[in-house]
Amino acid sequence: MADQTSELAQAVEDVTAKAQVLVREEVALAKAEMTEKLTKLVKGAIFGIVAAVFGVFALVYLLHSLAWGVWDIFEIGSDAPWFGFLVVGVLILLLGLIAGVIALRLVKKGSPPTPTMAIEEAQLIKGTLTSSPAGTAVGPVGARQAPAPAPTEGGR
């Protein structure tokens, strides 16, 4: 009887140690996923900021001269330079819209920053540990084979 008790105690220690290792590995996986997704979010934000800075600084001088050029080309009148500035303003809005859409796509790739793979794996492990009857073979990722249905009376 003492041998069985010590073997049972050893088995409980082994299960506890392996469960602790699993928990540590799941936490490490969650950290890795969070780091990857946050990196994508930061990159998207940086590209959005860079797009805005380049849009402002690179185009200021060119847009001003373009506005005067449009006014001169269409010869609206000597007192109506606003037309050229209106055309250039619409172009600026279109460029800003394109940069904003690109930034939004990059940010959405990393959002929401949740460790989905770690959560799924933890749920599989929990399901395996809590619902696996003794003697049932469990697959490498927690998948169990369903038992064959019992035959019913009357061929149904």
pTM here? 0.40
Name the nearest CA neighbour of 117 among 30, 23, 28, 19.
30
Confidence bin at 85 (pLDDT 50/70/90): confident
**Whole-number pLDDT of residue 98:** 95
Could you tell me the residue ranges of all domains in the chain?
16-120
- Give the relative orientation of helices 2-74 and 82-109 as an angle to the nearest 10 degrees: 170
Which tokens is 69 given? 């050029």
Encode pLDDT of 100-134 as tens digits.
Answer: 999 998 888 877 777 778 888 888 888 877 775 55
List residues bridging with 138 in a β-sheet: 144
